[in-house]
């Protein structure tokens, strides 16, 4: 299984060359295509604008992206017959995109279902180009959507959940004959289909999720994800100059790091491969010599290695619900989180004092005002107070070696205190794989540097 971020014509040529190399060595390969940078984001934006009925803006959008994709195809496909086929498919898909946008404009209504269909076009515009480049190398490519590949989900549009048993059965039926016949399947990432055949999307990290779903369905030897980053780092190198690449981590560590800000992979994407213990390797398509990060089942704990990475999540806010009547009052936390859940607000961290006199939690910064308004209404008559703080960030220290190692928290907070940083809130999961806490956003970078230095994460092991 191979998936890659598609940045430009050079990136497309690189990923096809990588696939060709694996096929030459006798491997059966499936490639998952991502969209070009920002295309999915712009598709989301134009679908919202379509509701206003401005046909000129929609037409300009489609023409601009069609031209960009055709120019990219022309740059990396040299056989004129193959290029013509790719351009014809791009024109056909653009025509279909224009049609759905016009339908939204006429109805002046954007449903979650129609938005998913619009978002699926990011990968539907990149896949024909990948297929064309692969055809020039005689790799016998065939591109298909995630739904055509057999990825089947519920109808929770925007972030659909795969129906695993159905997906496994359909994917195997679709690909086993193709792979045994020497073909190179190229699948559009992110997109899928419900059991009724309605287009759905897998949400953030959808291309990686598509790759791991197909990999798990086919009992792949490895899922190989090519990114613009070389894998998981001990810290964000833009914050900590001494950050280094982590060669191997467990699934659990990868999920924790990804959840708390590491960009290498989305946490959901690891779910399909965990049960079958299929390794996932993340590599940089710009550095073919570096092996990247291997994500595998065992928690590799080396002597003296306690923390493996320290991450930062920006643009968050903190809310505290307190009151003297809260202690011993059953159901307060349940009520708070029901209000937020009903509003679709995701909670990133939770902390409650042992006295039960207060509960604090962290949420995305852009949801702060909505959360305060909803809680104010939902907690009327309880005499509880709601306090909030923005301009904060989450710092998380992650590592399998933390489990059962005494004094880790003491070292973390001593290092932070020595830099004069005030900790606002602390949380630690029962897995003991991470310690996460809140500091002022302005203090985030030096907090990262302090922990990185304390645990000597910049030193090669």
The phi and psi torsions of 230 (rounded to 5 degrees) equal -85, 5
The answer to whether residue 301 scores a pLDDT higher than 70 is no
Q: Provide the pLDDT confidence category of residue 384 given band limits of 50, 70 and 90.
A: confident
Q: Cα separation of 258 and 229, whole Å?
A: 13
Q: Provide the pLDDT confidence category of residue 212 given band limits of 50, 70 and 90.
A: very high
Q: 5 or 35: whose pLDDT is higher?
A: 35
| pLDDT for position 6 | 73
| pLDDT tens-digit map of 168-190 | 999 999 999 999 999 999 999 98
Mean pLDDT over residues 383-402, rounded? 90
Mean residue pLDDT of the chain comes to 90
Q: How far is CA 256 from CA 17, 203, 209, in A?
A: 33, 19, 17
Q: Cα separation of 404 and 433, whole Å?
A: 10
Q: Is the distance from CB of 264 to CB of 229 less than 8 angstroms?
A: yes
Q: In the structure encoding, which two tokens stand for residue 270, read together?
A: 């690891």
Hey, do 2-227 and 309-454 end up sharing a CATH topology, with the first three levels equal?
Answer: no
CA angle 205, 125, 103 (to 5 degrees): 95
The answer to whether residue 373 scores a pLDDT higher than 60 is yes
**Token pair 């379509």 in the structure block, residue:** 50
The answer to whether residue 367 scores a pLDDT higher than 90 is yes
| pLDDT for position 460 | 66
Residues 6+ apart with CB under 8 A from 205: 265, 266, 267, 268, 269
356 sits in the region (left: phi over 0; alpha: psi -120 to 50; else beta) called left
| pLDDT tens-digit map of 53-71 | 888 899 999 999 999 999 9
Q: Is the distance from CB of 224 to CB of 281 less than 8 angstroms?
A: yes
| pLDDT for position 403 | 78
| pLDDT for position 291 | 87
Q: 334 or 33: whose pLDDT is higher?
A: 33
The answer to whether residue 3 scores a pLDDT higher than 70 is yes
What percentage of the chain exceeds 70 in pLDDT? 94
| pLDDT tens-digit map of 266-297 | 888 999 999 899 999 999 877 778 889 999 98
Domain parsing of the chain, residue ranges:
2-227, 309-454
CATH C-level class of 2-227: alpha beta
The phi and psi torsions of 277 (rounded to 5 degrees) equal 55, 45
| pLDDT tens-digit map of 244-260 | 999 999 999 999 898 88
Q: What dotted CATH number matches 309-454?
A: 3.30.2130.10
Q: pTM for this structure?
A: 0.87
Q: Within 13 Å of residue 246, how many CA atoms lie on the same side as its CB?
A: 29
Q: Provide the pLDDT confidence category of residue 309 given band limits of 50, 70 and 90.
A: very high
Q: Is the distance from CB of 361 to CB of 349 less than 8 angstroms?
A: yes
The answer to whether residue 302 scores a pLDDT higher than 90 is no
Q: Provide the pLDDT confidence category of residue 430 given band limits of 50, 70 and 90.
A: low
The answer to whether residue 143 scores a pLDDT higher than 70 is yes
């Amino acid at each position: 299984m191979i998936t890659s971020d598609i940045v430009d014509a050079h990136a497309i040529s690189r990923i096809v060359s990588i696939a060709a190399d694996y096929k030459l060595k006798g491997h059966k390969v499936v490639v998952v295509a991502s969209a070009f940078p920002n295309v999915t984001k712009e598709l989301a934006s134009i679908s919202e604008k379509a509701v206003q009925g401005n046909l000129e803006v929609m037409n300009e959008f489609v023409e601009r992206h069609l031209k960009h994709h055709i120019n990219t195809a022309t740059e990396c496909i040299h056989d004129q017959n193959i290029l013509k086929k790719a351009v014809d498919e791009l024109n056909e898909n653009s025509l279909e995109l224009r049609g759905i946008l016009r339908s939204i404009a006429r109805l002046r209504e954007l449903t979650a279902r129609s938005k998913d269909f619009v978002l699926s076009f990011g990968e539907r515009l990149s896949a024909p180009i990948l297929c064309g480049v692969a055809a020039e190398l005689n790799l016998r490519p065939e591109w298909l959507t995630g739904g055509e590949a057999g990825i089947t989900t519920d109808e929770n549009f925007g972030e659909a959940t795969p129906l695993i048993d159905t997906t496994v059965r359909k994917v195997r039926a679709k690909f086993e004959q193709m792979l045994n016949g020497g073909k190179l399947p190229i699948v559009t990432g992110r997109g899928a289909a419900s059991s009724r055949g309605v287009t759905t999307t897998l949400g953030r990290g959808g291309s990686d999720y598509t790759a791991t779903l197909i990999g798990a369905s086919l009992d792949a030897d490895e899922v190989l994800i090519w990114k613009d980053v070389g894998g998981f780092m001990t810290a964000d190198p833009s914050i900590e100059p001494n950050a280094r690449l982590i060669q191997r981590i467990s699934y659990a560590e990868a999920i924790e790091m990804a959840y708390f800000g590491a960009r290498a992979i989305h946490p959901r994407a690891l779910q399909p491969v965990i049960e079958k213990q299929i390794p996932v390797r993340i590599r940089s398509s710009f550095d073919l010599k570096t092996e990247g990060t291997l994500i595998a089942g065992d928690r590799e704990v080396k002597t003296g290695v306690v923390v493996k990475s320290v991450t930062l999540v920006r643009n968050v806010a903190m809310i505290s619900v307190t009151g003297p009547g809260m202690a011993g009052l059953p159901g307060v936390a349940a009520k708070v989180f029901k209000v937020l859940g009903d509003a679709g607000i995701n909670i990133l961290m939770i902390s409650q004092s042992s006295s039960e006199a207060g509960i604090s939690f962290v949420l995305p910064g852009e949801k702060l005002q909505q959360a305060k308004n909803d809680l104010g209404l939902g907690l009327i008559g309880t005499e509880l107070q709601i306090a909030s703080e923005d301009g904060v960030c989450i710092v998380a220290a992650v590592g399998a070696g933390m489990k059962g190692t005494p004094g880790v928290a003491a070292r973390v907070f001593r290092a932070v205190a020595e830099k004069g940083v005030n900790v606002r809130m602390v949380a630690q999961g029962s897995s003991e794989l991470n310690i996460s806490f809140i500091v002022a956003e302005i203090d985030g970078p030096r907090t990262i540097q302090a922990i990185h230095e304390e645990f000597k994460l910049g030193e090669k092991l």
